[in-house]
Structure 1
Amino acid sequence: MSDFYFGGDLFSELDRVQRQVSTLFGNVPSSMRSSRADSFPQLNIGSTDEAIQIVAFAPGVEPASLDVTVDKGTLTISGERRAPAAAEGSRAYAKERFKGSFRRVIELPQNADSDKVEARYENGTLFITIGKREASKPRAITIQ
């Protein structure tokens, strides 16, 4: 018989340990797929056989204030989100919306082709498509 007794909820305990480890290491991203929960803009990153697709959720950002660059295997999204105009004489007692300059840097996989980048912005969402190099695309091999 074991002398070990755990009287709590195991999953709650694991969540607590994960939060402590995240705090200890400062929420350092472990890959291009993860980052701090409060980063702006939030990203979804995925891929198809043909391209890498990045979706940046940037509501309230003017498209003219966005800058997207690809250099040495990294994609940089930067810009500025301004605060909406407040009514004259009003005082805020809570502010949950981010305002100011931002910059996100994403390390791209080696098969990304920096010559095949397209970006479009619609309804507060920035869509970026980066083509893959021809040599990295899957191909069928004929058996003889």
Structure 2
Amino acid sequence: MLKIKEVREEKKLSQDEVVRLSGIPKRSYINYENGQTDVPISKLQNIASALGVSILKLIDNKHQIEEPKEEYQLEKKTTLLDVRDDLKADLAIIAEGMTTNFEKVAGALYESLKGQQKIIRFIEKIDPDKINKATGKLDEFLERK
């Protein structure tokens, strides 16, 4: 039997707060807390972290395993919003790098082909609509909230 509810009440946290901190769906959390569903170890770790305790504190064992004196708590909970923001920042850096690299390649290509007929054929093959569409889609993705 797990002591999730007992520890949560000791910590003076609501179910909603633990759900938010652990990232577990509310219905699942309630079932775990009430003992209606077995808790996967990964979810038990999420709950323990949200409550700021070790997994041992959540386990009701009759043979009392001594728990470490310090409590465990994640320094920062990672949410999907954090991941999305990090991804947007990374994509912006990648887009900037791609633009810089494209400009360098285009400049080097221009210098190497300058004054030759090859440059005319190369430019004719570039489809500006496709480049503008790709750039627009990247900008649109980066602007989403």
Q: Which is greater in Rg?
A: 2
TM range (shorter): under 0.3
| Higher percent of residues as helix | 2
**What TM-score comes out, normalization by structure 2 length?**
0.21
**What TM-score comes out, normalization by structure 1 length?**
0.21
| Higher percent of residues as strand | 1
The higher relative CO (CA closer than 8 Å, separation ≥ 6) is in 1
